[in-house]
Amino acid sequence: MGLLSSFRVFGASPLFVLAFVFLTLQPVTADVITKKDGSTISGQILNVSGDAANRQVAIAPPGSAGKLIIYLSDIDTVTMAPPAAVAQVKDAAPTAVVAALEPQIKQFAGLPADWVPNAMAQLAEAYGAQGQGDRALATYNQIDVLYPNSKYHLQAVEGKASLSLGQGKVADALATILPVIDAADKNLAPSQAEGGIYANAFLVYGQALEAQQKPQQALEAYLTVKTMFYQNPTLAEKADQLAAKLREANPGLGVE
């Protein structure tokens, strides 16, 4: 009995059958590694291993029982969608974030795909929220070690500043975040990813200024997010909420 006949026996509608067949025949999107020599390798990326200086990526080509090993130093870019576990932890509680992301980071840390360092920063933030400051700091430092001289450095710096602020180390937080604020002031056309990093930096900056009893400067920091680095709606909304709360506590507060 053919597939369509089987569905007819169980009373499935023709539209359902066509939809099932279409989805069944859709190819699974492969991960793609582009090497510095311009060649590409597609398949399923399995893991990243080795020390920071000699990290290797294992990838299984389609239809192959074996795997290829490629040094990270030979890789230009990687195209890989985040695993489902990473996508599902948005807005989750810190315990759920840690449980979901720890295995993913252990498996893929160092891979030059945006979702990996972003997940590392999210994991570090969850550690901090659980009072595990040492593990949070170690994860931020790991970002710097595995992604040296990259755009992710600012993300790690910003995370360290936020961690210091949460621990009540206001002066340390300000000293750490100021280089990111300076970088933001000099970047006249930030990318969307950079805009998110700068928005977070100004949120930390504003909260540190509030802790130092500098409400006007704090308000300016929050308004900078709304007017300059508004690409991320969640961060822009958070800046709006912080600004509103600050004005409520300081009637008549404005910017010069």
**Scanning the structure block, which residue is given the tokens 């252990």?**
106
CB 126 within 8 A of CB 101: yes
pLDDT score recorded for residue 6:
44
Per-residue pLDDT tens over the stretch 27-79: 457 999 999 999 999 999 999 999 877 899 999 998 777 899 999 999 999 99
Report the alpha-carbon angle 83-235-112, nearest 5.
35
Could you give the CA distance from residue 126 to residue 206 in angstroms, rounded to a whole number? 21
CB 13 within 8 A of CB 3: no
Q: What stretches in the chain show pLDDT beneath 70?
A: 1-28, 256
CATH of domain 81-249: 1.25.40.10
Q: In the chain, which ranges are E strands?
A: 31-35, 40-49, 56-60, 68-71, 75-79
pLDDT score recorded for residue 256:
66
The domain limits of the chain are: 81-249
Q: Is 199 exposed, middle or buried (0-12, 13-18, 19+ CB in 10 A)?
A: buried
Checking DSSP bridges between strand 68-71 and strand 56-60, what pairing results, if any? antiparallel
pLDDT score recorded for residue 17:
42
pLDDT score recorded for residue 243:
96
Task: Supply the DSSP symbol for 73.
Answer: G
Tokens in use for 167? 């621990």
Q: Whole-prediction pTM value?
A: 0.78
Could you give the CA distance from residue 93 to residue 125 in angstroms, rounded to a whole number? 11
> Could you tell me the strand order of the sheet in which 40-49 lies?
68-71, 56-60, 40-49, 31-35, 75-79
pLDDT score recorded for residue 66:
87
pLDDT above 90 covers a percentage of the chain that reads: 68
Instruction: Identify the bridge partners of residue 32 per DSSP, sorted by sequence position.
Output: 42, 79
pLDDT score recorded for residue 188:
83
Tokens in use for 75? 């890789």
**DSSP assignment of 210-240, as one string?**
HHTT-HHHHHHHHHHHHHTS-SSHHHHHHHH
